[in-house]
Amino acid sequence: MTSSNKLILIVEDDQHIAEGLRLNLTLQGYDVIVATDGVAGLGRWKESRPDLVILDIMLPGIDGLSILQSIRLEDERLPILILSAKGDPSDRVKGLSLGGDDYLPKPFNLEELLLRVERLLKRGSWTQENGGPLAEPGVDTYSFGDNEIDFTTNTARSRLGVISLTEQEAKVLKLFIVHRGKPLSRDTLLQIGWGYSRKTSTRTVDNFIVRFRKYFEVDPKNPIYFKSLRSIGYLFDHED
């Protein structure tokens, strides 16, 4: 794929904006795919692995910031341009701090958007060729207590010995580590960790917590790392 036909994923629920972007980006020589809700957006990202994502924040199903965090747990280099009606400085700071590479408030100037897309794609190509990250460096290894997790091999060492982690286990563990000391609701864990919509009812999170306690807690029935917060969710924390 040459620089003139990079693949761009647009996640935008306003069909007029999405179609206008698709048309103009196609005229610039890009290949474009569109998703109109959060669940579909995550699915298209996983299926197509685009070169750049244009991401709205206020989406049905899963919001854009949850999509952003979910992608960043697996891919730190993918250029992501946030496109949002939320243009306050605090909204921009939040979007960029969670891993967005650029932030363009609505309404936007089309020529400016096209220039930003071109710039981000050039940065992305340079990053792939030189191996440097676009976002902040991710977690490669992490230790707490007598436990150590290696995210490069998806293995962990604990009192049980060496544990082979599934990709989903590693992703959820990284999500807890990134939010260390902060309560995470079941809805947040399901949206960011699994890409489920807010309306999903499942025991998946609870089952994973049981598994993590078995792996990493000395006494799984009295956890000190993966704690339950009644009516809230779960909290991961430890002493340095």
219-230, pLDDT tens digit by residue? 999 999 999 999
Check if the beta carbon of residue 215 is closer than 8 Å to that of residue 225: no
163 three-state secondary structure: strand
69 Rama sector, left if φ>0, alpha if ψ -120 to 50, beta otherwise: alpha
Same domain, 30 and 119: yes
- The pLDDT of 75-80, averaged and rounded, is 92
159 occurs within a structural domain: no
- 97-142 residue pLDDT tens: 999 999 999 999 999 999 999 999 987 665 455 444 443 445 689 9
Name the domain count of the chain.
2
Region 149-155: what's the mean pLDDT? 94
76 confidence band (pLDDT: 50, 70, 90): confident
pLDDT at 94 over 80: yes
**Does a structural domain hold residue 196?**
yes
Query: Alpha carbon of 111 to those of 62, 85, 226: distances in Å?
Result: 29, 18, 48
Determine, yes or no, domain membership for 211: yes
If asked whether residues 57 and 12 sit together in one domain, one would say: yes
pLDDT at 2: 45
Mean pLDDT taken over the chain: 89
What CATH number did the domain enclosing 47 receive? 3.40.50.2300
| Mean pLDDT, residues 36-53 | 95
Q: How far apart are CA 145 and CA 125, in angstroms?
A: 40
14 and 88 co-located in one domain: yes
- Statement to judge: residues 104 and 193 lie in one domain: no
With tokens 């993918």, the residue in question is 78
Q: Domain boundary at 79, 107, 130, which?
A: 130
- Which CATH number belongs to the domain containing residue 171 in this structure? 1.10.10.10
- Domain, as residue range, for 219: 165-236
Clarify whether residues 121 and 33 are in a common domain. yes
Phi and psi angles of residue 107, each rounded to the nearest 5 degrees, phi first: -70, 150
**pLDDT at 157 exceeding the cut of 70:** yes
